[in-house]
Structure formats: C-alpha cells, structure tokens
Amino acid sequence: MSETRYTEQHEWVRVEGGEGTIGITRYATEQLGDVVFVELPDIGKTLARGAEGAVVESVKAASEVYAPVGGKVTAVNEALASDPAKVNAEPEGEGWFFKLKLSDPAELSALMDEAKYQDFVKGL
C-alpha cells in the first residue's frame, strides 16, 4: 500500500516499501506554467530532507524541487529529458522526478496528508 505526503513547497512523496517517488503537485505546475526543462539528480546521490533534488524550468521561471525526505537516489525519470511537458500533463503520475531509498521513514510524519495539503492550498 502506498502513502502520499506533501510539503508546503508543493512537492509530494509517494512511499511504497521503503522507497519514495518524488514529484511536484498540480498546484505547483499551475503556478509554473509550461515546463520546458528538467534537471534531475544523479543516481546514487544522497539527499538530506529539504535539499535540492532537481530543477524545473518553465516559460515563467526556474524552481528547485526539494527532497521532502532524506535518502539515496535510486532512479530518475529519464523520460522528462525528452518530454518535460509530462510534468504538466501528469504531475502526480508519469511526471515524477526521482525515487529515493528513505534514510529515515519517520521524516514522513512532518509532512501533510492529502486532506491537510488541500486545505493548505485553499488558504493560499
């Protein structure tokens, strides 16, 4: 069973079996506009919670994607190199950025569940 958690910076992490898939939310893509380039981390890189994991560039701006939890990068979504628009089309699906082997699953407790995140976005 997977569990999805959210940050106030509009990243999400979906955890299955000690591995987290990280991406940005639909709200974030709406703020960015059309994504034109994505820079992904190297596989094997260790990221601390809150560290820059990726960079996304859109027609409006460039933004960092931060690791919602700490861990070691196990995979990156190489499809984004040739088709960065996947981030806009399916931000919480095929538009994911990278996967991490979680170093401390307890870090998830500091993140919002979907209901809290939706309430947070309504207040913006």
pLDDT for the residue 2: 77
Token pair of 33 as six digits:
């506009």
Q: How much is the average pLDDT of 54-77? A: 97
Q: Is residue 111 part of a domain?
A: no
Residue 1 pLDDT > 70 = no
Residue 104 pLDDT > 90 = yes
Using CA atoms in the order 75, 80, 86, 87, what is the torsion angle rounded to 10 degrees? 70
Q: Give yes or no for a contact between 30 and 96, defined as CB atoms under 8 angstroms apart.
A: no
CATH number of the domain encompassing residue 60: 2.40.50.100
Domain boundaries, position 36: 3-105
The predicted-structure confidence for 18-42, as pLDDT tens digits, reads as follows 999 999 999 999 999 999 999 999 9
Q: Is residue 114 part of a domain?
A: no
pLDDT for the residue 114: 95
**How many Cβ atoms from other residues are within 10 Å of residue 40's Cβ?**
20
Tokens 């898939």 map to which residue? Answer: 21
